[in-house]
Amino acid sequence: MRVIAGTAKGRLLKAVPGTGTRPTTDKVKEAIFSMIGPYFDGGLGLDLFAGTGGLGIEALSRGVDRVIFVDMEKTSIQVVEDNLSALGFKEQAEVYRNEAQRALKVLGRRGLKFDLIFLDPPYKMKNADEILLEMQQMGMLHDQAVVLVEHESKHAYADEIGQLQVRKRTTYGETAITIYRFFDNISIGGKLDGTEHS
């Protein structure tokens, strides 16, 4: 695994030992960032099931200001911290060992709003929609925020999850990617009036 583009382009990423973590392949990662925008002008990101931290680190390399990484596995947290240190991104990151929804409650109490969210839970988990509804209820998404859900291709999420609307879907073998964009009430009204958001 490596960083595909940006300031850390070509740098290798340490993997989590064993078979419990399923890292996003370089091919899929490259496709993901071509879909959500190759480069970013700042913003706050969340890598909620971080694993190696590959998606959040890619976002940092491509211009996101700061990323919060969350994983409940001790080995994953160590790998994320090692990767951030090796690539010089430690000052732009926060890393927490916690269960996803508990972590959200803590982050929500801080009043944080995210611009880019990665949800890549274990395939046995099918509750990304519940997590995203919870984030919306806590006011954790900026208008126009982009949410990427990586999931098993046999499972499909709804076109709309609260105020999130699907923008793209694609499948790579057993892996599926669903990309949503968040519209606040004004934006939804604009969309219904024919305004296109990019």
Instruction: Confirm whether 198 is domain-assigned.
Output: no
Q: Is 86 helix (H, G, I), strand (E, B) or coil?
A: helix
Q: Is 70 helix (H, G, I), strand (E, B) or coil?
A: strand
* Predicted pLDDT of residue 19: 53
Alpha carbon 139 to chain centroid distance? 17
* Predicted pLDDT of residue 20: 60
Backbone phi, psi, residue 76, to 5°? -65, -45
- CB of 74 closer than 8 Å to CB of 97: yes
> What is the CATH classification number for the domain harbouring 51?
3.40.50.150
* Predicted pLDDT of residue 131: 95
Structural domains counted in the chain = 1
User: What is the edge-to-edge ordering of all strands in the sheet holding 175-182?
Assistant: 93-97, 66-71, 44-47, 114-119, 141-152, 175-182, 164-172, 160-161
Instruction: Confirm whether 19 is domain-assigned.
Output: no
Instruction: Confirm whether 177 is domain-assigned.
Output: yes
- Domain range for 34: 28-192
Which two three-digit tokens encode residue 14? 């340490």
Q: What distance in Å separates the CA atoms of residue 87 and residue 8, rounded to the nearest whole number?
A: 7
For the chain, 198 residues long, give each residue's pLDDT as a single digit of tens: 899 999 999 999 999 887 566 678 888 898 899 999 888 999 999 999 999 999 999 999 999 999 999 999 999 999 999 999 999 999 999 999 999 999 999 999 999 999 999 999 888 888 999 999 999 999 999 999 999 999 999 999 999 999 999 999 999 888 999 999 999 864 443 443 333 333
